[in-house]
């Protein structure tokens, strides 16, 4: 079994400051330990994927990073600041954003209004009145920025289309556009390809690649071939522990990953000897 404190090999050699630094993190739900003494580091502007079988603790780990609940034990630092007990909204205000498996957009607003609302909340603050938002939609500063991001994400010509009319793939792409316009320091994506066809995924991947090494990306995803086309490294969780972390190919071929994730049993030395 790999040690809980395993860290990325390439991360340790980087000169970039740490974006995420987790030490001895545990989360207990009654008798069940969803995250078990996990330590993890990730540097600024890296792209890292998190994989693991169902029940490995991936979503719980992400929930702890975003402040959905405090850990039972351990500490969490984001960009050098201890946020272990800092509420979710404060983390969002400091530049940490999360995209969920289920799309979080406003079906009763247009594409333009959704992106503009995200930008307005970034500029004016989360407690700004919605009435003020609608009054400022025509503001030149807002419109130019929203138009720029809308076109960047392939929504040219559909600015007045209500989001309820969009496909699931375009809704997910819109959600990322809404995150992008707020200029987050750390973007956490929770199964972004869930429910999408290959064509939508490939289009989505091109958008995500525009962020690689410009923003810090942490992506939880099951579609390995798609994930490895984006990220620099993989972190593998199993039973709440980090069992391997490093460059994609090396990590996928790690003996512990082969046993725990791929369920491949390696022949022991005695069996190999008898085969000779």
Residues 68-80 have pLDDT tens digits of 999 999 999 999 9
Lowest mean pLDDT among 9-13, 22-26, 54-58, 74-78: 9-13
In angstroms, the CA 74 to CA 37 distance is 8
First to last CA, the chain: 28
pLDDT category of residue 2 using cuts at 50, 70 and 90? very low
275 has pLDDT over 60: no
* pLDDT(153) > 70: yes
Phi, psi of 227 (to 5 degrees): -65, -45
What pTM value is reported for the model? 0.84
pLDDT value of residue 24: 97
Q: What percent of the chain has pLDDT over 90?
A: 54
What kind and span of H or E run contains 148? helix 140-152
**According to the model, what pLDDT value does residue 199 have?**
84
Hey, what CATH class is 1-95+184-276 in?
Answer: alpha beta
Sorted by where each begins, the domain ranges of the chain are 1-95+184-276, 105-183
Rg of the chain (C-alpha set): 21
Structure-block tokens of residue 111: 């594409």
- What would the pLDDT profile of 223-260 be if each residue is shown by its tens digit? 999 999 999 999 999 999 999 999 999 999 999 999 99
Whether pLDDT at 274 is above 60: no
Confidence bin at 7 (pLDDT 50/70/90) = low
């Amino acid at each position: 079994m790999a040690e809980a404190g395993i860290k990325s090999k390439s991360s340790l050699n980087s000169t970039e400051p740490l974006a995420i630094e987790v030490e001895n993190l545990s989360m207990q739900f009654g008798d069940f330990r969803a995250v078990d003494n996990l330590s993890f580091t990730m540097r600024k502007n890296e792209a890292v994927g998190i994989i693991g079988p169902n029940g490995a603790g991936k979503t719980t780990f992400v929930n702890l990073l975003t402040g959905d609940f405090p850990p039972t034990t351990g500490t969490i630092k984001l960009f050098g600041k201890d946020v272990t007990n800092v509420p979710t909204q404060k983390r969002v205000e400091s530049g940490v954003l999360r995209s969920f498996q289920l799309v979080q957009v406003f079906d009763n607003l247009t594409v333009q209004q959704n992106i503009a609302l995200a930008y307005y909340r970034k500029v004016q603050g989360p407690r700004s009145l919605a009435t003020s938002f609608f009054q400022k939609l025509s503001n030149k500063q807002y419109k130019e920025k929203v138009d720029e991001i809308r076109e960047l994400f392939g929504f040219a010509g559909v600015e007045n289309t209500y989001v309820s009319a969009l496909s699931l793939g375009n809704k997910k792409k819109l959600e990322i556009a809404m995150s992008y316009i707020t200029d987050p320091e750390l973007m956490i994506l929770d199964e972004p390809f869930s429910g999408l066809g290959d064509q939508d995924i490939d289009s989505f991947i091109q958008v995500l690649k525009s962020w690689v090494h410009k923003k810090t990306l942490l992506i939880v995803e099951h579609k390995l071939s798609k994930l490895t086309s984006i990220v620099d490294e993989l972190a593998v969780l199993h039973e709440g522990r980090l069992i391997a972390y490093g460059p994609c190919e090396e990590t996928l071929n790690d003996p512990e990953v082969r046993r725990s994730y791929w369920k491949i049993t390696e022949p022991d030395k005695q069996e190999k000897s008898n085969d000779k």
